[in-house]
Structure 1
Amino acid sequence: MAIMRRFLRELGYSVHPWKLGRNLGPNAELRAGMMARLEEIEGRVGRRVSIVGWSLGGIYARELARRSPRLVRQVITLASPFAAGMRMDNNYVDEALAERLRTPPPVPCTALYTRHDGVVPWQTCREDVHPHTENIEIPATHIGIGVNALALYAIADRLAQPEGKWQPFKKNGVKSLLYRERG
Protein backbone atom coordinates (compact mmCIF):
# COMPACT_ATOMS: atom_id res chain seq x y z
CA MET A 1 0.00 0.00 0.00
CA ALA A 2 3.04 2.32 0.24
CA ILE A 3 2.91 3.25 -3.45
CA MET A 4 -0.82 3.94 -3.26
CA ARG A 5 -0.39 6.02 -0.10
CA ARG A 6 2.38 8.06 -1.72
CA PHE A 7 0.27 8.60 -4.87
CA LEU A 8 -2.74 9.78 -2.84
CA ARG A 9 -0.59 11.96 -0.59
CA GLU A 10 0.87 13.65 -3.69
CA LEU A 11 -2.69 14.40 -4.79
CA GLY A 12 -3.22 16.20 -1.49
CA TYR A 13 -5.17 13.57 0.45
CA SER A 14 -4.64 13.00 4.15
CA VAL A 15 -3.40 9.41 4.13
CA HIS A 16 -3.19 7.18 7.18
CA PRO A 17 -1.44 3.78 7.23
CA TRP A 18 -2.63 0.60 8.96
CA LYS A 19 -0.39 0.83 12.06
CA LEU A 20 -1.80 -2.39 13.56
CA GLY A 21 1.13 -4.69 12.94
CA ARG A 22 1.12 -7.79 10.81
CA ASN A 23 -2.33 -8.82 9.60
CA LEU A 24 -2.69 -12.47 10.57
CA GLY A 25 -6.46 -12.58 10.29
CA PRO A 26 -9.43 -11.39 12.28
CA ASN A 27 -9.62 -11.68 16.06
CA ALA A 28 -11.14 -9.61 18.88
CA GLU A 29 -7.94 -7.66 19.51
CA LEU A 30 -7.58 -6.72 15.84
CA ARG A 31 -11.26 -5.71 15.57
CA ALA A 32 -10.88 -3.44 18.62
CA GLY A 33 -7.64 -1.99 17.19
CA MET A 34 -9.24 -1.23 13.83
CA MET A 35 -12.20 0.48 15.50
CA ALA A 36 -9.89 2.56 17.70
CA ARG A 37 -7.78 3.50 14.65
CA LEU A 38 -10.88 4.58 12.69
CA GLU A 39 -12.11 6.68 15.63
CA GLU A 40 -8.63 8.21 16.03
CA ILE A 41 -8.41 9.19 12.35
CA GLU A 42 -11.97 10.56 12.23
CA GLY A 43 -11.26 12.60 15.36
CA ARG A 44 -8.00 13.93 13.94
CA VAL A 45 -9.39 14.95 10.53
CA GLY A 46 -12.77 16.04 11.85
CA ARG A 47 -14.84 14.37 9.15
CA ARG A 48 -15.94 10.96 7.93
CA VAL A 49 -13.17 8.70 6.61
CA SER A 50 -12.87 7.01 3.22
CA ILE A 51 -11.34 3.56 3.67
CA VAL A 52 -9.36 1.82 0.93
CA GLY A 53 -8.72 -1.86 1.61
CA TRP A 54 -6.82 -4.44 -0.42
CA SER A 55 -7.78 -8.13 -0.24
CA LEU A 56 -8.63 -9.02 3.39
CA GLY A 57 -8.22 -5.32 4.21
CA GLY A 58 -11.25 -4.58 2.04
CA ILE A 59 -13.35 -7.03 4.04
CA TYR A 60 -12.21 -5.26 7.21
CA ALA A 61 -13.09 -1.89 5.64
CA ARG A 62 -16.61 -3.05 4.85
CA GLU A 63 -17.08 -4.41 8.37
CA LEU A 64 -15.89 -1.12 9.91
CA ALA A 65 -18.38 0.75 7.71
CA ARG A 66 -21.14 -1.67 8.67
CA ARG A 67 -20.33 -1.25 12.36
CA SER A 68 -19.87 2.56 12.33
CA PRO A 69 -21.36 4.16 9.20
CA ARG A 70 -21.37 7.57 10.89
CA LEU A 71 -17.54 7.49 10.77
CA VAL A 72 -17.13 6.18 7.21
CA ARG A 73 -17.67 8.24 4.06
CA GLN A 74 -17.10 5.41 1.57
CA VAL A 75 -15.32 2.10 1.11
CA ILE A 76 -13.10 1.18 -1.83
CA THR A 77 -11.99 -2.44 -2.06
CA LEU A 78 -9.27 -3.95 -4.23
CA ALA A 79 -9.47 -7.67 -4.99
CA SER A 80 -11.37 -8.26 -1.75
CA PRO A 81 -13.29 -11.57 -1.72
CA PHE A 82 -16.08 -10.33 0.55
CA ALA A 83 -18.64 -12.62 -1.11
CA ALA A 84 -16.62 -15.82 -0.62
CA GLY A 85 -17.68 -16.66 2.93
CA MET A 86 -14.39 -18.42 3.63
CA ARG A 87 -13.58 -18.98 7.30
CA MET A 88 -10.04 -18.17 8.37
CA ASP A 89 -9.96 -20.88 11.04
CA ASN A 90 -10.53 -24.02 8.99
CA ASN A 91 -10.98 -22.81 5.41
CA TYR A 92 -14.57 -23.83 4.75
CA VAL A 93 -17.39 -21.83 3.18
CA ASP A 94 -19.94 -20.48 5.64
CA GLU A 95 -23.03 -19.51 3.63
CA ALA A 96 -24.47 -17.30 6.39
CA LEU A 97 -21.16 -15.45 6.64
CA ALA A 98 -21.00 -15.13 2.86
CA GLU A 99 -24.48 -13.58 2.77
CA ARG A 100 -23.66 -11.10 5.55
CA LEU A 101 -20.35 -10.06 3.99
CA ARG A 102 -21.87 -9.82 0.51
CA THR A 103 -24.50 -7.33 1.74
CA PRO A 104 -22.96 -3.88 1.34
CA PRO A 105 -22.63 -1.58 4.33
CA PRO A 106 -24.82 1.55 4.32
CA VAL A 107 -22.16 3.76 2.70
CA PRO A 108 -21.04 4.07 -0.93
CA CYS A 109 -18.93 1.05 -1.92
CA THR A 110 -16.66 0.65 -4.93
CA ALA A 111 -15.20 -2.76 -5.69
CA LEU A 112 -12.12 -2.90 -7.92
CA TYR A 113 -11.58 -6.45 -9.12
CA THR A 114 -9.62 -8.35 -11.73
CA ARG A 115 -10.56 -11.42 -13.71
CA HIS A 116 -6.85 -12.33 -13.70
CA ASP A 117 -6.66 -12.30 -9.90
CA GLY A 118 -4.75 -15.56 -9.42
CA VAL A 119 -5.32 -15.63 -5.64
CA VAL A 120 -9.05 -15.34 -4.96
CA PRO A 121 -12.07 -16.02 -7.21
CA TRP A 122 -12.74 -12.71 -8.97
CA GLN A 123 -16.51 -13.28 -8.83
CA THR A 124 -16.37 -12.99 -5.02
CA CYS A 125 -14.82 -9.50 -5.27
CA ARG A 126 -17.81 -7.89 -6.96
CA GLU A 127 -20.62 -5.91 -5.37
CA ASP A 128 -24.26 -6.87 -5.77
CA VAL A 129 -26.22 -4.13 -7.52
CA HIS A 130 -27.45 -1.46 -5.08
CA PRO A 131 -27.94 2.30 -5.49
CA HIS A 132 -24.66 3.00 -3.68
CA THR A 133 -22.40 0.22 -5.04
CA GLU A 134 -20.34 -0.25 -8.16
CA ASN A 135 -17.77 -2.58 -9.70
CA ILE A 136 -14.76 -1.50 -11.72
CA GLU A 137 -12.81 -4.16 -13.57
CA ILE A 138 -9.04 -3.57 -13.63
CA PRO A 139 -6.63 -5.43 -15.95
CA ALA A 140 -4.22 -6.59 -13.24
CA THR A 141 -3.43 -9.43 -10.86
CA HIS A 142 -4.25 -9.73 -7.16
CA ILE A 143 -0.76 -8.60 -6.20
CA GLY A 144 -0.55 -5.91 -8.90
CA ILE A 145 -3.94 -4.24 -8.58
CA GLY A 146 -2.79 -1.81 -5.87
CA VAL A 147 -0.08 -0.32 -8.08
CA ASN A 148 -1.99 -0.48 -11.37
CA ALA A 149 -2.38 2.97 -12.98
CA LEU A 150 -6.04 2.36 -13.85
CA ALA A 151 -6.79 1.29 -10.27
CA LEU A 152 -5.00 4.34 -8.86
CA TYR A 153 -6.92 6.63 -11.23
CA ALA A 154 -10.24 5.04 -10.27
CA ILE A 155 -9.44 5.38 -6.54
CA ALA A 156 -8.48 9.05 -6.98
CA ASP A 157 -11.69 9.64 -8.95
CA ARG A 158 -13.82 8.06 -6.22
CA LEU A 159 -12.08 10.06 -3.46
CA ALA A 160 -12.50 13.33 -5.38
CA GLN A 161 -16.29 13.25 -5.16
CA PRO A 162 -17.87 15.69 -2.72
CA GLU A 163 -19.10 14.03 0.45
CA GLY A 164 -22.77 13.12 0.21
CA LYS A 165 -22.77 13.43 -3.59
CA TRP A 166 -21.58 9.94 -4.56
CA GLN A 167 -22.15 8.96 -8.18
CA PRO A 168 -21.03 5.81 -10.01
CA PHE A 169 -17.74 5.90 -11.91
CA LYS A 170 -18.31 7.31 -15.40
CA LYS A 171 -16.83 5.13 -18.12
CA ASN A 172 -17.30 7.56 -20.97
CA GLY A 173 -14.91 8.91 -23.61
CA VAL A 174 -11.43 7.39 -23.42
CA LYS A 175 -12.38 5.68 -20.15
CA SER A 176 -14.80 3.47 -22.10
CA LEU A 177 -11.77 1.97 -23.85
CA LEU A 178 -9.70 1.56 -20.68
CA TYR A 179 -12.36 0.34 -18.24
CA ARG A 180 -14.17 -2.46 -20.00
CA GLU A 181 -16.73 -4.65 -18.30
CA ARG A 182 -17.23 -8.08 -19.76
CA GLY A 183 -20.46 -9.98 -19.23
Structure 2
Amino acid sequence: MKNSTTPLLSIAPLSHDDLAAIAPPEGSPRRAGLVAELGTALQPWRLALKSRALLSAPRGDGRIAVALPGWKAPDVTTAPLRGYLRSIGHDARSWGFGINQGDVEAKRDQMVEQVRELAQRSERPVNLLGWSLGGVVAREVARSAPESVHRVVIYGSPVVGGPTHTAGVGAYDAEEVARIRELQAHLDATEPVTTPITAIFTRNDSVVDWRACIDRFSLDVTMVEVGSTHVGLGIDPDVWLTVAEALAEDPDT
Protein backbone atom coordinates (compact mmCIF):
# COMPACT_ATOMS: atom_id res chain seq x y z
CA MET A 1 0.00 0.00 0.00
CA LYS A 2 1.26 3.44 -0.88
CA ASN A 3 0.33 5.94 1.85
CA SER A 4 2.34 9.13 1.59
CA THR A 5 2.01 12.82 2.18
CA THR A 6 2.88 15.75 -0.07
CA PRO A 7 4.01 19.13 1.34
CA LEU A 8 2.22 22.15 -0.07
CA LEU A 9 3.33 25.67 0.86
CA SER A 10 3.35 25.84 4.68
CA ILE A 11 1.33 22.66 5.18
CA ALA A 12 3.20 20.18 7.34
CA PRO A 13 2.92 16.68 5.84
CA LEU A 14 2.33 13.66 8.02
CA SER A 15 5.05 11.04 8.00
CA HIS A 16 4.34 7.32 7.92
CA ASP A 17 5.12 7.22 11.64
CA ASP A 18 2.65 10.04 12.27
CA LEU A 19 -0.06 8.15 10.43
CA ALA A 20 0.70 4.94 12.32
CA ALA A 21 0.38 6.79 15.62
CA ILE A 22 -3.14 8.08 14.88
CA ALA A 23 -5.72 6.22 16.96
CA PRO A 24 -8.96 4.89 15.44
CA PRO A 25 -12.00 7.19 15.70
CA GLU A 26 -14.37 6.83 18.63
CA GLY A 27 -17.99 7.94 18.46
CA SER A 28 -19.08 11.17 16.77
CA PRO A 29 -17.74 14.73 17.22
CA ARG A 30 -18.90 16.73 20.23
CA ARG A 31 -21.71 19.10 19.37
CA ALA A 32 -20.00 21.89 21.28
CA GLY A 33 -17.30 21.85 18.65
CA LEU A 34 -19.76 22.96 15.99
CA VAL A 35 -19.38 26.52 17.28
CA ALA A 36 -15.86 26.52 15.84
CA GLU A 37 -17.35 26.08 12.38
CA LEU A 38 -18.57 29.70 12.60
CA GLY A 39 -14.99 30.77 11.88
CA THR A 40 -15.66 29.71 8.30
CA ALA A 41 -16.93 33.22 7.62
CA LEU A 42 -13.29 34.39 7.62
CA GLN A 43 -12.14 31.96 4.94
CA PRO A 44 -12.70 34.22 1.88
CA TRP A 45 -10.01 36.55 3.23
CA ARG A 46 -7.56 33.65 3.18
CA LEU A 47 -8.38 33.10 -0.49
CA ALA A 48 -7.52 36.71 -1.21
CA LEU A 49 -4.27 36.52 0.75
CA LYS A 50 -3.16 33.46 -1.23
CA SER A 51 -4.41 34.63 -4.62
CA ARG A 52 -0.91 34.74 -6.10
CA ALA A 53 -0.21 31.15 -5.12
CA LEU A 54 -3.61 30.05 -6.38
CA LEU A 55 -3.08 31.66 -9.77
CA SER A 56 0.38 30.12 -10.15
CA ALA A 57 -0.79 26.59 -9.30
CA PRO A 58 -0.23 23.81 -11.87
CA ARG A 59 -2.66 24.08 -14.75
CA GLY A 60 -4.99 21.41 -16.06
CA ASP A 61 -5.34 20.37 -19.68
CA GLY A 62 -9.12 20.25 -19.96
CA ARG A 63 -9.76 16.91 -18.32
CA ILE A 64 -13.26 16.65 -16.81
CA ALA A 65 -13.47 17.01 -13.02
CA VAL A 66 -16.83 16.31 -11.37
CA ALA A 67 -17.47 17.81 -7.91
CA LEU A 68 -19.77 16.05 -5.43
CA PRO A 69 -21.29 18.00 -2.50
CA GLY A 70 -21.56 16.86 1.10
CA TRP A 71 -24.53 15.51 3.03
CA LYS A 72 -27.66 17.65 2.65
CA ALA A 73 -25.63 20.14 0.60
CA PRO A 74 -26.62 21.46 -2.85
CA ASP A 75 -24.48 21.76 -5.97
CA VAL A 76 -23.84 25.46 -5.29
CA THR A 77 -21.54 24.57 -2.38
CA THR A 78 -18.94 23.24 -4.82
CA ALA A 79 -19.26 26.23 -7.17
CA PRO A 80 -16.30 28.24 -5.77
CA LEU A 81 -13.88 25.35 -6.22
CA ARG A 82 -15.26 24.54 -9.66
CA GLY A 83 -14.85 28.15 -10.72
CA TYR A 84 -11.26 28.17 -9.56
CA LEU A 85 -10.44 24.93 -11.35
CA ARG A 86 -11.96 26.21 -14.59
CA SER A 87 -9.75 29.30 -14.30
CA ILE A 88 -6.65 27.11 -14.31
CA GLY A 89 -7.61 24.86 -17.18
CA HIS A 90 -9.86 22.10 -15.85
CA ASP A 91 -13.29 21.19 -17.20
CA ALA A 92 -14.88 21.33 -13.73
CA ARG A 93 -18.55 20.36 -13.50
CA SER A 94 -21.21 19.81 -10.85
CA TRP A 95 -22.46 16.30 -10.24
CA GLY A 96 -25.92 17.31 -11.50
CA PHE A 97 -28.02 15.54 -8.86
CA GLY A 98 -28.89 18.53 -6.70
CA ILE A 99 -28.84 18.09 -2.92
CA ASN A 100 -26.91 15.10 -1.63
CA GLN A 101 -29.56 13.30 0.42
CA GLY A 102 -27.17 10.72 1.81
CA ASP A 103 -27.97 7.50 -0.04
CA VAL A 104 -24.44 6.49 -0.97
CA GLU A 105 -25.35 3.29 -2.80
CA ALA A 106 -28.03 4.90 -4.97
CA LYS A 107 -25.84 7.87 -5.82
CA ARG A 108 -22.90 5.58 -6.52
CA ASP A 109 -24.93 3.72 -9.14
CA GLN A 110 -26.13 6.97 -10.75
CA MET A 111 -22.64 8.42 -10.75
CA VAL A 112 -21.06 5.28 -12.19
CA GLU A 113 -23.37 5.55 -15.19
CA GLN A 114 -22.65 9.27 -15.57
CA VAL A 115 -18.89 8.92 -15.16
CA ARG A 116 -18.66 6.10 -17.68
CA GLU A 117 -20.56 8.20 -20.21
CA LEU A 118 -18.35 11.25 -19.59
CA ALA A 119 -15.20 9.16 -19.91
CA GLN A 120 -16.44 7.63 -23.14
CA ARG A 121 -17.39 10.98 -24.65
CA SER A 122 -14.14 12.69 -23.66
CA GLU A 123 -12.10 9.58 -24.51
CA ARG A 124 -10.25 9.58 -21.18
CA PRO A 125 -11.01 8.92 -17.51
CA VAL A 126 -12.39 11.77 -15.41
CA ASN A 127 -11.38 13.23 -12.05
CA LEU A 128 -13.73 13.15 -9.05
CA LEU A 129 -13.78 15.68 -6.21
CA GLY A 130 -15.83 14.88 -3.12
CA TRP A 131 -16.56 16.97 -0.04
CA SER A 132 -17.50 15.01 3.09
CA LEU A 133 -20.17 12.45 2.11
CA GLY A 134 -19.57 13.41 -1.52
CA GLY A 135 -16.08 11.98 -1.08
CA VAL A 136 -17.55 8.71 0.18
CA VAL A 137 -19.64 8.49 -3.00
CA ALA A 138 -16.66 9.44 -5.20
CA ARG A 139 -14.55 6.74 -3.59
CA GLU A 140 -17.23 4.12 -4.24
CA VAL A 141 -17.56 5.24 -7.87
CA ALA A 142 -13.81 4.75 -8.29
CA ARG A 143 -14.11 1.32 -6.73
CA SER A 144 -16.93 0.35 -9.10
CA ALA A 145 -15.59 1.93 -12.30
CA PRO A 146 -11.80 2.28 -12.00
CA GLU A 147 -11.37 2.33 -15.77
CA SER A 148 -13.38 5.57 -15.97
CA VAL A 149 -11.81 7.46 -13.05
CA HIS A 150 -8.38 9.07 -13.36
CA ARG A 151 -7.97 10.43 -9.83
CA VAL A 152 -10.07 11.11 -6.74
CA VAL A 153 -9.67 13.99 -4.30
CA ILE A 154 -11.74 13.86 -1.11
CA TYR A 155 -11.87 16.34 1.74
CA GLY A 156 -13.41 15.89 5.16
CA SER A 157 -14.72 12.49 4.07
CA PRO A 158 -15.42 9.71 6.61
CA VAL A 159 -13.80 6.66 5.05
CA VAL A 160 -14.17 4.76 8.34
CA GLY A 161 -17.49 3.79 9.90
CA GLY A 162 -19.98 5.38 7.51
CA PRO A 163 -22.05 7.90 9.52
CA THR A 164 -20.82 6.46 12.85
CA HIS A 165 -18.20 9.15 13.42
CA THR A 166 -20.15 12.11 12.03
CA ALA A 167 -22.47 14.74 13.47
CA GLY A 168 -25.22 13.32 11.25
CA VAL A 169 -25.27 9.87 12.82
CA GLY A 170 -28.58 10.64 14.55
CA ALA A 171 -30.34 10.88 11.19
CA TYR A 172 -29.91 7.11 10.68
CA ASP A 173 -31.37 4.28 12.76
CA ALA A 174 -28.90 2.04 14.59
CA GLU A 175 -29.40 -0.94 12.27
CA GLU A 176 -28.66 1.15 9.17
CA VAL A 177 -25.57 2.66 10.76
CA ALA A 178 -24.28 -0.83 11.55
CA ARG A 179 -25.09 -2.09 8.04
CA ILE A 180 -23.24 0.77 6.37
CA ARG A 181 -20.27 0.44 8.71
CA GLU A 182 -19.95 -3.28 8.06
CA LEU A 183 -20.41 -2.91 4.31
CA GLN A 184 -17.75 -0.21 4.10
CA ALA A 185 -15.29 -2.30 6.11
CA HIS A 186 -16.01 -5.37 3.98
CA LEU A 187 -15.48 -3.53 0.69
CA ASP A 188 -12.22 -1.96 1.86
CA ALA A 189 -10.93 -5.34 3.01
CA THR A 190 -11.92 -7.30 -0.09
CA GLU A 191 -11.97 -4.73 -2.93
CA PRO A 192 -9.65 -1.85 -2.00
CA VAL A 193 -9.79 1.22 -4.24
CA THR A 194 -6.93 1.17 -6.75
CA THR A 195 -7.47 4.64 -8.26
CA PRO A 196 -5.03 7.27 -6.91
CA ILE A 197 -6.66 9.20 -4.04
CA THR A 198 -5.68 12.43 -2.34
CA ALA A 199 -7.44 12.57 1.03
CA ILE A 200 -7.56 15.93 2.81
CA PHE A 201 -8.45 16.21 6.49
CA THR A 202 -8.43 18.77 9.29
CA ARG A 203 -8.12 18.29 13.02
CA ASN A 204 -10.46 21.30 13.39
CA ASP A 205 -13.31 19.25 11.90
CA SER A 206 -16.41 19.38 14.11
CA VAL A 207 -18.69 17.54 11.66
CA VAL A 208 -16.60 14.42 11.05
CA ASP A 209 -14.12 12.93 13.52
CA TRP A 210 -10.91 13.72 11.64
CA ARG A 211 -9.48 10.31 12.50
CA ALA A 212 -12.25 8.74 10.42
CA CYS A 213 -10.85 10.60 7.38
CA ILE A 214 -7.55 8.70 7.44
CA ASP A 215 -7.61 6.26 4.52
CA ARG A 216 -5.55 3.20 5.47
CA PHE A 217 -7.26 0.91 2.98
CA SER A 218 -6.96 2.23 -0.58
CA LEU A 219 -3.85 1.18 -2.46
CA ASP A 220 -2.58 4.57 -3.65
CA VAL A 221 -3.30 7.29 -1.09
CA THR A 222 -1.75 10.68 -0.38
CA MET A 223 -2.83 12.19 2.96
CA VAL A 224 -2.77 15.98 3.33
CA GLU A 225 -3.65 17.94 6.47
CA VAL A 226 -5.03 21.48 6.35
CA GLY A 227 -6.14 23.90 9.07
CA SER A 228 -9.70 24.64 7.92
CA THR A 229 -12.96 23.89 9.65
CA HIS A 230 -15.17 21.25 8.00
CA VAL A 231 -17.62 23.81 6.62
CA GLY A 232 -14.73 25.93 5.40
CA LEU A 233 -13.08 23.18 3.35
CA GLY A 234 -14.88 24.25 0.18
CA ILE A 235 -13.33 27.73 0.24
CA ASP A 236 -10.01 27.01 1.88
CA PRO A 237 -6.99 28.06 -0.23
CA ASP A 238 -4.87 25.17 0.99
CA VAL A 239 -7.59 22.75 -0.10
CA TRP A 240 -7.75 24.44 -3.51
CA LEU A 241 -3.98 24.29 -3.91
CA THR A 242 -3.94 20.65 -2.85
CA VAL A 243 -6.63 19.85 -5.41
CA ALA A 244 -4.73 21.73 -8.14
CA GLU A 245 -1.53 19.83 -7.36
CA ALA A 246 -3.33 16.50 -7.19
CA LEU A 247 -4.99 17.05 -10.57
CA ALA A 248 -1.83 18.32 -12.26
CA GLU A 249 -1.34 16.17 -15.33
CA ASP A 250 1.50 13.69 -15.49
CA PRO A 251 3.05 13.90 -18.98
CA ASP A 252 2.78 10.13 -19.23
CA THR A 253 -0.97 9.91 -18.48
> Does the alignment reach a TM-score above 0.5?
yes
Of the two, which has the highest radius of gyration? Answer: 2
The yes-or-no answer on 1:75 pairing with 2:152 is yes
Is residue 194–residue 219 contact of structure 2 (8 Å, CA) maintained in 1? Answer: no
Aligned to 2:198: 110
**CA 1:108–1:12 in 2, change beyond 3 Å: closer, same or farther?**
same
Any idea what SS the aligned residue of 1:97 has?
A: helix
Residue by residue, what CA displacement relative to the aligned partner does 1:50-88 show, whole Å, maximum 9, x if unpaired? 111000100000100000100011111010001123377
Aligned to 1:58: 135
The amino acid across from 1:141 in the alignment is T
The amino acid across from 1:126 in the alignment is I
Structure 1 residue 43, shift from structure 2 partner = 2.1
TM-score by length of 1: 0.80
Is residue 188–residue 217 contact of structure 2 (8 Å, CA) maintained in 1? Answer: no
TM-score by length of 2: 0.59
The yes-or-no answer on 1:43 pairing with 2:120 is yes
Structure 1 residue 28, shift from structure 2 partner = 5.9
- The correspondence for 1:120, drawn from 208, 215, 227, is 208
2:104 and 2:223 mapped to 1: Cα distance?
A: 29
- Matched residues, percent identical? 32
Structure 2: which 5+ runs fail to align?
1-77, 165-170
Structure 1 residue 101, shift from structure 2 partner = 5.7
Q: Which has the higher contact order (CA 8 A, sep 6+)?
A: 2
Residue by residue, what CA displacement relative to the aligned partner does 1:145-172 show, whole Å, maximum 9, x if unpaired? 121101100100010031767xxxxxxx
2:202 and 2:187 mapped to 1: Cα distance?
A: 19
Structure 1 residue 45, shift from structure 2 partner = 1.8
Residue by residue, what CA displacement relative to the aligned partner does 1:15-64 show, whole Å, maximum 9, x if unpaired? 12110122111166533321222122212321011111000100000100
Structure 1: which 5+ runs fail to align?
166-183
Structure 1 residue 127, shift from structure 2 partner = 1.4
**CA 1:141–1:147 in 2, change beyond 3 Å: closer, same or farther?**
same
Aligned to 2:51: none
Aligned to 2:83: 6
Any idea what SS the aligned residue of 2:223 has?
A: strand
